[in-house]
Structure 1
Amino acid sequence: MQAEDLQRLLDVSMPYGKYKGRAIADLPGNYLGWFAREGFPRGELGRLLALMYEIDHNNLGALLAPLRKNR
């Protein structure tokens, strides 16, 4: 993980599905958990979803709070 990946979680939107258009950082935990069980997509999207899953699963959402303030 790179420092800029945290900012990307706020900047990149889900490109498809039920939560299309919602920032990766704002996806619900159960949706991220579904990807964790079924498999993350390839590429940057999958990498960001996996990172957000780990943040959510380990209750580390406070890491994103300073970045949300600066938006």
Structure 2
Amino acid sequence: MEEISVPDPAILKELLKYKMPFGKYKDTLIADLPVSYLEWFQRQGFPAGKLGMLLSTMYEIQINGLGELLHRLRKMQ
């Protein structure tokens, strides 16, 4: 039987609050980073820790066309 993953709402909320701490997109919300930037991290390697987890989660959301999840959550806040 195939296991279905359900996104953790706490992580989705973090994507709407956590800002990029460095680089070209410093102070940009992780949820608002362009997919090209996330793709660069995917090729180069995501940073360790919480930031890397959030960036890789946002990358997966973008490449799988799940941006609507964040759009709905943003409206609810």
How many residue pairs get matched? 71
Aligned residue identity for 1:6: L
Query: Structure 1 regions of 5+ residues with no counterpart?
Result: none
- Check if 1:53 corresponds to 2:36: no
Q: CA RMSD in A?
A: 1.0
CA apart distance, 1:2: 2.3
Distance 2:72 2:35 in 1: 20
Counterpart in the other structure of 1:4: 10
How far off is 1:26 after superposition? Answer: 0.2
Q: Which residue is 2:34 aligned to?
A: 28
Q: State the identity %.
A: 55
Q: Which has the larger radius of gyration?
A: 2
Unaligned 5+ runs, structure 2: 1-6
Normalising by structure 1, report the TM-score: 0.94
Structure 1 or 2: more helix by fraction: 1
Q: TM-score, normalised by structure 2?
A: 0.87
